[in-house]
Amino acid sequence: MSDELDRIRREMHAVLQQPGVRPDDSLKLTRRTFIHRSLLFGAVSVGQTFAWWPLLNTIDVAHAAEAPFKFAWISDTHLYERSLNTRFVDKVVRAVQEVQAMDPPADFLIFGGDLAQLGKIEELELGVELLKDLSIKKYYIPGEHDWYLDMGKKWGELFGQPNWTFDHKGVRFIGLDTVSRGPDYWTVKKMTPEERMGHMATLDGTVAGAWAGVGRDQLDWMQKTLADWDKSKPIVIFSHNPLYEYYPPWNFWVRDWREVNEVLKPYTKVTNIHGHVHQVLYNEIGSMRSIGMLATSWPWPYAPEGVPKLTKPMIRVDPGDHFDGVGWETVNVNADDRVDVEYIMWGRKEVFVQSDPDSSLSQPEKLRPRMADNMWPY
């Protein structure tokens, strides 16, 4: 397995990290670490409860939009039935209330997968019920937790086709299904649906294997969908798993990232927004940038090998506070060629003051580099 991973990494590096290839040059990448909004407005008193808008990290990426707009993202709610656990319910309620309160309102919401924890009908229906309070248009892509109990039956009944596309104010949006094409590890072992689901619900899924992928049919669909789209116009692709190799043992990737890259290569303004990793994450490969989003449920640790260089890591400061290290996001598409992702991270209180506002890439960051970055430096 490690030889295979090694081979894949070398290949990925050779294919994707070619000299000079980066997301569109007009896309200025700046990252600003904000202190709390109330600090920005100069209204902080010691002991104040910061329950609202803890903007921790803004990543500006960029695109031309016909008119400025913003949309919201919620994912990885991992709902249990109410009778078992209401902790995750509370956080969905909070996220929904906050999105609903956005002013100006979000144009739409993307739900990025893992609505349910064990794929149960009751869990999925609970999710629908909680999100019903949100009056804006909602689009859903599936996560593995939604899928592998009944192989997407209930999810399909509730939300329809898992991959879709639409245009909005000069941006083409694509939702991908990266979860449904896992290899069949259950039939030969005569697993029950619950056993199958159980293997999908672990992070280190050695039994389930490399289940995350886009699939040839969906790649063809994506290519067709993009055929009439101007190469220099913005594309935003939503996927549950990241569309690059971050950490395969946890399926923090799609196994057919090469093919995805082939399809997207001609386009210069591609942003991939993904869930599954439950953490602040940022990476660029070729002309595509990928942004990892927070869960409302819990934060996963960073991969043992470290994170892509451009990631500014998020940590859970207080493991006992289940609102810490989680939250949701707004995405602002500005007329001045930028897309800003704002992490709305809850529970940060005073401790999230990490660096000066408006720090930029020119300031060296001390991150533990990934093994792959060390072996094949840029």
Q: Return the closest-CA partner of residue 338 out of 102, 149, 115, 62.
A: 62
Which position among 24, 98, 114, 284 is part of the footprint of Fe ion (CB under 5 A)? 114
Of residues 271 and 297, the one with the C-beta less far from Fe ion: 297
Of residues 76 and 342, the one with the C-beta less far from Fe ion: 76
Least distance to Fe ion, CB of residue 197, Å: 12
Of residues 115 and 288, the one with the C-beta less far from Fe ion: 115
Which position among 70, 154, 255, 276 is part of the footprint of Fe ion (CB under 5 A)? 276
Using the rule CB under 5 A, is 123 a contact of Fe ion? Answer: no
Using the rule CB under 5 A, is 373 a contact of Fe ion? Answer: no
Longest alpha-carbon distance in the chain: 63
| DSSP collapsed to 3 states, 53-106 | CCEEEEEEECCCCCCCEEEEEECCCCECCCCCCCHHHHHHHHHHHHHHCCCCCC
Q: Which segment (29-37, 53-61, 87-95, 106-114) binds Fe ion by CB under 5 A?
A: 106-114
Using the rule CB under 5 A, is 329 a contact of Fe ion? Answer: no
Spatial separation of the C-alpha atoms in residues 192 and 198, rounded to whole Å: 10
Using the rule CB under 5 A, is 146 a contact of Fe ion? Answer: no
Q: Which of residues 280-319 bind Fe ion (CB under 5 A)?
A: none
10 Å CB burial of residue 228 (0-12, 13-18, 19+) is exposed
Least distance to Fe ion, CB of residue 119, Å: 11
> Residue 141 contacts by C-beta under 8 Å, 6 or more apart in sequence?
110, 111, 112, 113, 162, 163, 175, 176, 177, 178, 238, 239, 240
Using the rule CB under 5 A, is 205 a contact of Fe ion? Answer: no
> Residue 288 contacts by C-beta under 8 Å, 6 or more apart in sequence?
23, 243, 244, 261, 264, 270, 271, 272
What track of x and - describes contact with Fe ion for positions 220 through 259 (by CB under 5 A)?
----------------------------------------
Spatial separation of the C-alpha atoms in residues 199 and 206, rounded to whole Å: 8
Least distance to Fe ion, CB of residue 50, Å: 26
Using the rule CB under 5 A, is 76 a contact of Fe ion? Answer: yes
Q: Which segment (79-87, 191-199, 270-278, 312-320) binds Fe ion by CB under 5 A?
A: 270-278
Of residues 45 and 206, the one with the C-beta less far from Fe ion: 206
Of residues 88 and 282, the one with the C-beta less far from Fe ion: 88
Least distance to Fe ion, CB of residue 144, Å: 5
Using the rule CB under 5 A, is 325 a contact of Fe ion? Answer: no
Start-to-end CA span in the chain (Å): 25
Of residues 58 and 251, the one with the C-beta less far from Fe ion: 251
Using the rule CB under 5 A, is 142 a contact of Fe ion? Answer: no
The contact set with Fe ion (CB under 5 A) reads 76, 114, 143-144, 276
